[in-house]
A and B are shown apart, each in its own frame.
Chain A
Amino acid sequence: MPSFLLTVVLGIYPIGWAMRYMFYDYKGYGAERYIGLDNFARVLRDGEFWQSVVNTFAYAGGKLALSIPLALLLAVLLNRGLRGRHVLRAVFFMPTIISSAVMAVVFFAIFNAYNGVLNQFLLKYKLIGGAVDWLGVDHAMLTVVLVSVWGAVGNYMLLFLAGLQNIPADVYESASLDGANKLQQFRYVTLPMLGPVSQMIVMLAIINALKGYESIMVLTDGGPVGKTNVMFLYVYKLFFPTAGTGAASQVQEIGYGSAVAFVTAVIVGAVTVLYFYGSKQMNRYA
């Protein structure tokens, strides 16, 4: 009963609240005007939103492409009898428990163009000719992807490790007796037997990547010129526009924001479902 109540209060009620406003023009004050499907028609015309969808897929794609193989590689290495592997596991996992917003501030000190540590290092060893604006128009997406990979790898590594430790040792022994070398054991034993775990890890990674926005908000706030503006950040700003000192007054768009949030949820849900059915093959050894 308590869990049912919690689900209703924290899950169903807020969704119902937001879904109701999808059909209203509501600014957080004044009249709530019913406008039917106008908010959804506006979503279809909203170039900034669709650009944020494209950015989200670029961000999520980059994050997955780098973090999953890296996490698997680290898990395999740290699953061996290396000295200090427990310390290394803790070190790689640490970013997961550090606030992404706090780390984004540290990463700003590393990546900023005028006195960032990265530029100073690269210039010192003459790897670049001049300061690179890692948070500028040309490189901002790459930078936020790298920061997100740093934050995610340890988590997925740990999940892969759990999967690896569930593979019976005698399977490797049999493979070894059959003459399989380490690479072949990885290809024909480890990868297939990690299939079900990998399927879930990748699904979680997809959802997290599509939903991630906190570190982006701190690092670039979606800029420059919207280059790193992802779907959830776009929604956030519709609900909570911020008027800095001296800046123009901002108007909340609760009705439209609810409609965009719904479309966003449908996109994330659709990608997840597509992935789930598309990855059934990974489960054949389950």
Chain B
Amino acid sequence: MRMKKQLLLAASGLTLAGSLVACSGQSSEEEQSGAKSGGKTKIVYWTGDRHDSEFIKEQVDAYNRTNADDIEVELVIKGDDFDQALDMSFQTSEAPDVIRVKENTIQTFYKKGFLAPIDAYLTDELKAKFPLMENLNSFDGKRYSLPNYGTTMRLIYNKELFAKAGIAAPPTTLAELVEDAKKITAAGKANGEYGFAQNFKSPGSALGRSARVIAETSGYGGFGYDFKTARYDFAPFKPIIEAFKQMKDDGSMLPGVESLDIDPLRAQFAEGKIGMYLSFSAEAGVYQSQFPAKIEWAAAPAPSIDGSVNGASGFLGGQWLAISSESEHKDAAWKFMAYMYGDQILQQYQEKGFGIAMVPSVSAVAAKPEVYGIDGFLPTARDGVWPVYPAVPVQGAKSDDAFFKYILSGGDLDAIVADLNARYNKALDAAIASGDVKAEPDPDFDPARLAGQYADE
């Protein structure tokens, strides 16, 4: 009996431990940041990017062979657990020296104190060359990263399925989007061809590449934040979500979108089974190497709600590499960073189709990327960089999850929007009160003025 009790106690203890520690999986990385190896200064560079991994490996290898400062860079390419692994690395004092930062992570990394300012390394020439972008590479008057490339958002469509359905041009309004998806499905359903698809396995990723760009093009913040009033207002998303629901109800979406991830979606598009979807300029590289497309396809500007363009189609970027605040070799890290930000690498980055240059002097000389389909992704007068909205820890369902639920099962969209507005603004007020975020109304904010800074036409 005593043994049973001990067993029970042990089982309960293990359960408790398992539960509480379930989420603290230790990083298995063995890199030791800042170590000296064979007289060389070793620095570690973490990236989560895979689309450019071969190119980056080549550049790092070249640097290791040629640099005269005895610096050796170890490149670590992380998977989807990049953010978690970085958290762990800082907790275990094994943080990398150079960190890849993105538009939706740099703020968090800055607030967590992961990043070191680089102002001391920036000459006047560099300051002039690389645009300063508040909250995207600069915080509270200090710079933490520099731009390299940007990512545009577009409607990606199968030209063959458009022709088969008798559609002359890509849709420019939500009504046309719904109608075209229906036509493509009607013409091709017997062959397993459908008008539209979204990667709803992650509603945040699905709507972050679709509803976001439609809202931004139409003049509304892509994440429900109104920069004029400094309040959350999801009402502008209603027609967008209604259109998505209509396509689902019409049977115009690929079967199984409910659990579809982005790569399976791309695989089906490459096979010619999807008429159109909305996504980023990285797709061009994807269809060249990862999922070689068997079809004629192109990219077009995302539709707006009613055809009028009152804002800017988001041009994402403004940051690339940053130095860890815990690096013991910040000077060496900067030397490597300066090498990576050299004109030759930045130029190649665009020309090989990994991204679209966001540094004016590079844009001016870099040739058009050598990638099929990239033309439709190049910046136009419609593209622009939106300011950064204050992210808040909302209680209850996130907006993407609530909208996805409506798309699948319907309900009262007005009530859903009212509930989202109430919960997001409550979280915003709490975050402002605690000093976690700043949110000031900007009555003169004009989203249309964001466009046109990266191309004239």
Contact = CB atoms under 8 A, between A and B. Distances in A.
A18 B223 contact: no
A128 interface: no
A247 interface: yes
A115 B264 CA distance: 11
Interface in B329-378: none
B224 to A, nearest CB: 9
Contacts of B80: 242
A248 B395 contact: no
B11 A272 contact: yes
B209 interface: yes
Contact of B256 (A136, A219, A243): A136
A82 to B, nearest CB: 34
A269 B16 contact: yes
A11 interface: yes
B31 interface: no
A244 B84 CA distance: 13
Contacts of A135: 256, 258-259
Contacts of B200: 223-224
A22 B249 CA distance: 43
Contact of A27 (B212, B268, B436): B436
A102 interface: no
> Which of A29, A224, A258 gathers most chain B CB within 10 Å?
A224
B421 to A, nearest CB: 15
Nearest to B427: A251
Contact of B15 (A211, A248, A252): A211
B102 interface: yes
Contact of B259 (A112, A211, A244): A112
B17 interface: yes
Contacts of A114: 192, 254-256, 268, 273
A1 interface: no
A273 B258 contact: no
B392 interface: yes
Contacts of A136: 256, 258-259
Contact of B19 (A25, A224, A264): A264
A147 to B, nearest CB: 13
Interface in B171-190: none
Interface string A216-246: 0001110111100000100110111011111
Interface in B8-63: 8, 11-24
A30 B15 contact: no
Nearest to A271: B15
Contacts of A47: 396
A265 B20 contact: yes
Contact of B408 (A29, A224, A269): A224
B285 to A, nearest CB: 13
Contacts, number: 203
> Which of B14, B19, B83, B202 gathers most chain A CB within 10 Å?
B19
B112 A133 contact: no
Contacts of B84: 240, 242
Contacts of B112: 28-29
B104 A243 contact: yes
> Which of B15, B24, B84 gathers most chain A CB within 10 Å?
B15
A131 B273 CA distance: 15
B108 interface: yes
B202 A247 contact: yes
A261 B325 CA distance: 31
B258 A265 contact: no
Given A30-B111, A220-B201, A250-B391, A258 B20 contact: yes
B202 A244 contact: yes
Nearest to B15: A268
Nearest to B394: A251
Nearest to A207: B15
B321 to A, nearest CB: 17
Nearest to A19: B20
B319 interface: no
A207 to B, nearest CB: 6
B395 A42 contact: yes
A46 interface: yes
B313 to A, nearest CB: 12
A136 to B, nearest CB: 5
A49 B11 CA distance: 24
Interface string B203-226: 111001100100000000001000
Nearest to A266: B16
Interface string B276-292: 00001010000000000
Given A135-B258, A135-B259, A249-B108, 4 more contacts: A211-B18, A246-B280, A262-B20, A272-B15
30 contacts: A11-B17, A11-B21, A29-B111, A33-B434, A42-B395, A46-B395, A108-B259, A115-B192, A137-B258, A137-B409, A207-B11, A219-B259, A224-B408, A225-B405, A226-B401, A236-B22, A239-B24, A240-B23, A240-B81, A240-B83, A244-B202, A245-B104, A246-B209, A246-B280, A249-B391, A250-B108, A257-B23, A265-B15, A269-B12, A273-B12
- Top 6 nearest A-B pairs (CB, nearest first) are A113-B256, A265-B19, A135-B259, A247-B208, A249-B391, A239-B23
